[in-house]
């Protein structure tokens, strides 16, 4: 499969992403004869289903999966110094995958008027949502009414802004609140579990609208009503919410976590509520994603 290029926000340098399961992705979503004749017609029908994700998740929770942890750390150069627990303390590969980090591993931006990155991942930022409520980004055509399951809700975000975060298996997989507010109870929209890897996103244009997802409204004093979506993907049927719904939330506090696999977050903001940081606006014109870390400032309250 072609190299995946991402820009490291900290260094500003272009990096090549090492893809976990790249051979399997190529078999299902690639251009080979096998992918065209067997992968998409047959294998994809299986791997996009919730039962397959549940079975795969069960496998990753078994004690024998621990043997994969150290080879994974070494292959993908995962920084163990950030872990709250030593690698030997994890009971399974999924336990390692859903790991917590040390409290100081992800400092939360302290500016009271900032929004922070909600999770480690590869980001695309959309500074302005078209009045048609259709967002075009890297092969995806995202229809907001369909994505949110409500045309009435979607109308409020015409002219607003949006971000899409892709969390790959090598990332820290807990997601957090971007600001203070009141978090509603998440609402589930059932769907398929297609991969959110770029090779899949380029093959199918409506993945985010077709995949299983949770939608959560966060009412905030400074940034209006934020739509916060957790999107499942291949092998990720399980999203665990650790924050109780309809209760106050604070900037940087944990909201939940994804179990094993790749997954995505989408945040949607009302118009005239915020302005993305200058470096984000600069990189949003690039063709590749921006690798960001949870807790970094991503936007500030609009002064309009």
- pLDDT at 1 exceeding the cut of 60: no
Residue 202 lies in a domain: yes
Domain containing 204 equals 114-301
76/72 Cα distance (integer angstroms): 6
Residue pointed to by tokens 């500030």: 300
Task: Name 294's Cβ contacts closer than 8 Å, sequence gap at least 6.
Answer: 106, 116, 117, 118, 119, 120, 172, 174, 175, 176, 252
Residue 44 lies in a domain: no
267/271 Cα distance (integer angstroms): 13
Average pLDDT over residues 73-81: 94
> Is 0.75 topped by the overall pTM?
yes
Q: How many domains would you assign to the chain?
A: 1
Ranges 64-68, 125-129, 136-140, 233-237: which has the least confidence: 233-237
Q: Are 161 and 125 in contact (CB under 8 A)?
A: yes
The confidence score (pLDDT) of residue 288 equals 86
The confidence score (pLDDT) of residue 262 equals 65
Q: Residue 188 — pLDDT band, cuts 50, 70, 90? A: very high
Write out the H or E segment, with its range, that includes residue 165.
Answer: strand 161-167
106/183 Cα distance (integer angstroms): 22
pLDDT tens per residue, range 170-181: 899 999 999 999
**Higher-confidence residue: 127 or 47?**
127
Residue 119 lies in a domain: yes
Residue 42 lies in a domain: no
Task: Name 222's Cβ contacts closer than 8 Å, sequence gap at least 6.
Answer: 113, 179, 180, 273, 301
Residue 180 lies in a domain: yes
Average pLDDT over residues 190-207: 81
Select from 236, 222, 234, 128 the least CA-distant residue to 175: 236
Q: Catalytic site residues?
A: 120, 176, 263
Residue 118 lies in a domain: yes
- pLDDT at 237 exceeding the cut of 60: no
Q: Residue 106 — pLDDT band, cuts 50, 70, 90? A: very high
Write out the H or E segment, with its range, that includes residue 279.
Answer: helix 278-283
* Percent helix, percent strand, percent coil in the chain, to nearest 5: 30, 30, 40
Q: Residue 115 — pLDDT band, cuts 50, 70, 90? A: very high
Secondary structure (3-state) at 145: helix
Q: Are 181 and 218 in contact (CB under 8 A)?
A: yes
Residue 120 lies in a domain: yes
Ranges 33-47, 144-158, 182-196, 234-248: which has the least confidence: 33-47
Q: Are 15 and 8 in contact (CB under 8 A)?
A: yes
Structure tokens given for 302: 């609009």
Residue 282 lies in a domain: yes
- pLDDT at 169 exceeding the cut of 80: yes
- pLDDT at 245 exceeding the cut of 70: yes
């Amino acid at each position: 499969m072609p190299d995946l290029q991402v820009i490291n926000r900290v260094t500003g340098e272009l990096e090549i992403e090492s893809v976990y399961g790249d051979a399997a992705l190529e078999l299902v979503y690639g251009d080979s004869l096998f992918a065209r004749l067997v992968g998409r017609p047959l294998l994809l029908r299986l791997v996009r289903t919730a039962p397959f994700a549940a079975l795969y998740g069960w496998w990753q929770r078994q004690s024998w999966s621990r043997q994969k942890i150290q080879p994974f750390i070494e292959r993908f150069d995962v920084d163990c110094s950030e872990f709250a627990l030593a690698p030997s303390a994890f009971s399974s590969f999924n336990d390692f995958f859903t790991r917590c980090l040390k409290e100081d591993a992800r400092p939360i931006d302290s500016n009271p008027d900032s929004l922070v990155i909600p999770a480690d991942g590869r980001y695309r930022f959309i500074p302005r949502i078209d009045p048609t409520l259709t967002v075009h980004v890297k092969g995806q055509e995202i229809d907001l009414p369909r994505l949110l399951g409500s045309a009435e809700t979607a109308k409020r975000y015409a002219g607003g802004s949006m971000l899409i975060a892709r969390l790959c298996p090598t990332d820290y997989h807990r997601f957090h609140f971007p600001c203070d507010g009141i978090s509603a109870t998440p609402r589930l929209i059932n769907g398929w579990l297609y991969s959110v890897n770029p090779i899949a996103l380029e093959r199918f244009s409506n993945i985010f609208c077709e995949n299983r997802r949770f939608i959560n409204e966060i009412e905030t004093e400074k940034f209006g009503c934020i739509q916060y979506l957790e999107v499942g993907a291949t092998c990720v049927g399980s999203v665990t919410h650790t924050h109780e719904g309809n209760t106050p939330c604070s900037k940087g506090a944990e909201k939940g976590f994804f179990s094993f696999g790749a997954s995505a977050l989408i945040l949607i903001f009302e118009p005239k509520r915020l302005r993305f940081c200058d470096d984000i606006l600069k990189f949003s014109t690039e063709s590749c994603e921006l690798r960001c870390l949870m807790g970094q400032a991503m936007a500030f309250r609009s002064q309009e």
